[in-house]
Amino acid sequence: MIVVMNQEATADQIQHVQDKLKEWGFGIHFSQGVERTILGVIGQKKPGVMESIEAMDGVEKVVPILQPFKLASREFQSATSEVQVGDVVFGGPKLVVIAGPCAVESEEQMVMTAKAVKRAGATMIRGGAFKPRTSPYAFQGLEEEGLKILKQTSIEVGIPFVTEVVNPMEVEMVAEYAPMLQVGARNMQNFTLLKEIGKLKKPVILKRGLAATIDEWLMAAEYILSEGNYQVVLCERGIRTYETATRNTLDLSAVPLAKRLSHLPIIVDPSHGTGKRFLVNPLSKAAVAAGSDGLIIEVHPDPESALSDGPQSLNFNGFETLMKEITPIIYAVGRSL
Ligand code: PEP
Ligand code: MN
């Protein structure tokens, strides 16, 4: 069960609720967000307890939650959350399209790409400055220089960006540059990183781990939420299966399933989800049809010479075609661009 204190609750009132819960033998997870204080109550349900707590001063509501993830669950909040980055809203009526290269390579590459994808209809750009590559010998990213390029591009082209943070010690530094952070698949269960991001009031995309169940993914989101950061967007990016014809198996059932279990917005990454350029267009369409709140797509001016993930990157023409072909589907599911 979760106890939500109202915004005007005093420190004494919050303490009193905690004292009572302890007296009744419950464990408490205390979460002080910017907007509200939440007490996660751990222990067996006892008759009459919910009603007693609800009657206490400063308590807004008591929510019984059966799922292991509490703050992320639909039981806790029935309406889909909206996560805002500048003018971009995840979880609202508009489909969010994020596009850009896998890795930031140069200012020229970023500005060219940002202009092209914006013209084609993207409302946000992506680009990795820290690249968690499978091989230590592969390009690792431009690091802080890459963040500077992203920020400069964003100002010049007038479009916000998202970028990955891989190290808990670098969260604050990356957040100084970026309006939205990304936790990559390989770090989905890096709980130290999740907790650091949870302490910020900064939107974050949480990618599904390579072999994570939906429950594990939502529990990872819970780590961020329970630290007080409620601006989490989930991202399905494919999971590891026995299939080798694609880089990953894009699990589109995760979209309606996660939406049923959680109020968090969810987007789909068909680039990492398939690893193959020709599959990005059809799987983007399927993701929108399945109810995804957005897409994140790798686009490069010259995929053949990309320093990472060229085989799954679209060129500008490919992205423009995708945006044209996807528009009727966006409207068919009752959304707009
Ligand atoms: C990325 O989006 O740049 C990335 C590395 O993706 P993932 O973490 O899903 O592999
Ligand atoms: Mn990539």
- Ligand (nearest to CA of 250): 1
Taking the C-alpha atoms of residue 121 and residue 118, their distance in angstroms, rounded to an integer, is: 5
Q: How long, in residues, is the chain?
A: 337
Taking the C-alpha atoms of residue 328 and residue 297, their distance in angstroms, rounded to an integer, is: 19
User: Which domain CATH number covers 14?
Assistant: 3.30.70.1140
Domain extent for 50: 2-63
How many helices and strands in the chain, by DSSP H and E? Answer: 11, 14
User: Long-range contacts: 197-200, Cβ < 8 Å, 24+?
Assistant: 197/165, 197/171, 197/224, 197/227, 197/229, 198/223, 198/224, 198/225, 198/226, 198/227, 198/228, 198/229, 199/227, 199/228, 199/229, 200/171, 200/172, 200/175, 200/229
Per-residue pLDDT, averaged over 208-218, amounts to 98
Compute, in angstroms, the gap from residue 229 CA to the centroid of ligand 1: 22
Asked whether residue 35 falls in the same domain as residue 168, the answer is no
Q: Is the CB of 272 under 6 A from ligand 1?
A: yes
* 94-to-64, 254, 335 alpha-carbon distances in Å: 32, 20, 6
Question: Tokens 């929108």 — which residue?
Answer: 288
**Can you give the pTM of this predicted structure?**
0.93
- What per-residue confidence (pLDDT) applies to 29? 86
The pLDDT tens digits of the residues spanning 52-83 come to: 999 999 999 998 888 889 999 998 888 999 99
Per-residue pLDDT, averaged over 18-37, amounts to 88
Asked whether residue 223 falls in the same domain as residue 283, the answer is yes
Could you give the percent of the chain with pLDDT greater than 90? 88
- What per-residue confidence (pLDDT) applies to 198? 96
Per-residue pLDDT, averaged over 216-234, amounts to 96
Query: CA-based Rg of the chain, rounded to a whole angstrom?
Result: 21
Asked whether residue 225 falls in the same domain as residue 153, the answer is yes
- What per-residue confidence (pLDDT) applies to 27? 87
Contact between 129 and 105 (Cβ < 8 Å): no
Closest CA to 246 of 271, 278, 275: 275
Backbone angles phi, psi at 201, to 5 degrees: -105, 70
The pLDDT tens digits of the residues spanning 88-103 come to: 999 999 999 999 999 9
The pLDDT tens digits of the residues spanning 154-206 come to: 999 999 999 999 999 999 999 999 999 999 999 999 999 999 999 998 999 99
Total structural domains in the chain? 2
Q: How confident is the model at residue 216 (pLDDT cuts 50, 70, 90)?
A: very high
Question: Three-class SS of residue 145?
Answer: helix
- What per-residue confidence (pLDDT) applies to 45? 78
The atom number, within ligand 1, closest to the CA of 182 reads 2
Taking the C-alpha atoms of residue 86 and residue 161, their distance in angstroms, rounded to an integer, is: 10
The pLDDT tens digits of the residues spanning 92-141 come to: 999 999 999 999 999 999 999 999 999 999 999 999 999 988 899 999 99
Taking the C-alpha atoms of residue 85 and residue 296, their distance in angstroms, rounded to an integer, is: 15
Residue 71 resides in a domain: no
Taking the C-alpha atoms of residue 281 and residue 237, their distance in angstroms, rounded to an integer, is: 15
Per-residue pLDDT, averaged over 249-258, amounts to 98
Q: How confident is the model at residue 13 (pLDDT cuts 50, 70, 90)?
A: very high
User: Which domain CATH number covers 242?
Assistant: 3.20.20.70
Pocket test for ligand 1, best of 140, 150, 187, 237 (most atoms within 8 A of CB): 237
Q: How confident is the model at residue 47 (pLDDT cuts 50, 70, 90)?
A: confident
Asked whether residue 170 falls in the same domain as residue 319, the answer is yes
Residues linked to residue 94 through DSSP beta bridges, in sequence order: 336
Asked whether residue 104 falls in the same domain as residue 32, the answer is no
